[in-house]
Structure 1
Amino acid sequence: MNPISIFLADDDRDDREIFMDALSELPIETSVKQFENGVDLMAELYSGNPLPDTIFLDLRMPLMDGFECLSDIRNIPELSEIQIIIYSTSYNQNEVDQLKEGGANQYIKKPNSYNQLKTILYKSLRPFQNTSSRKNDALNFSVIV
């Protein structure tokens, strides 16, 4: 089985490192590309390189934030099948509603505990373990806070 391809866009280096550490402890094979901002993420999506199965997208990033990235991704037919998981330190119900309407598949508030992060990542990525469903079955929108 091919590893689950993940793009992680987050400007906080510590958050990216913790994410990668937690991910490495899961019984799920993954391949991750990291981005510090939305501009670099979008450049990679437009590059012609293979697209990811899912994107973990921080909302508050310099140059181009998560809201703009989500909107751009959902407006490009070639990118519309990518599952987008918002991964943010904040939780605002109005923003969550806006993101759901904008096409996000899941909203995760960054947990305070490392073990919680591992559990959340496992639950979020488990549906992708079935290769045949990676591009065809959209995740039902869910919020994890």
Structure 2
Amino acid sequence: MLVSTKEIAVRYAETDQMGVVYHANYLVWMEVGRTALIEDLGFSYAQMERDGIISPVLDIQASYKKPLRYGEKAIVKTWIEEYDGIRITYGYEISKEDGELAVSGFSKHACVLKDSFRPISIKKKFPTWHQAYEKEKKQPEQ
């Protein structure tokens, strides 16, 4: 299973009145993680969009454990939790530099035609992506 890692410096604008990262910014960092994972696999989400395919969020979940603050670094780890050829679930862990878990979560996506939002089969439209996702997705524990 491939786990992509991306380091993000917490900017002042990403914090709230309490001095901690505003909760919605973790969702943005999940997107950064997804993009990094796709690139680590050798693909380009931007190119997929140019090909008329988009991947909307179907569901998203985040569990907040410890706050991150301005001046700290967030370490975003992203992997393919589940994949069935049409839907993808990405898993995330966002940690502090010392490894302490700040947020865990997942997001579920499907690939659809940009013009009609009709779902597509990744296996048929992007066979090399399909093969990579099958190879790198998390395997069930036995």
TM-score by structure 1 length?
0.22
- Larger strand share, 1 or 2: 2
- Larger helix share, 1 or 2: 1
TM-score by structure 2 length?
0.22
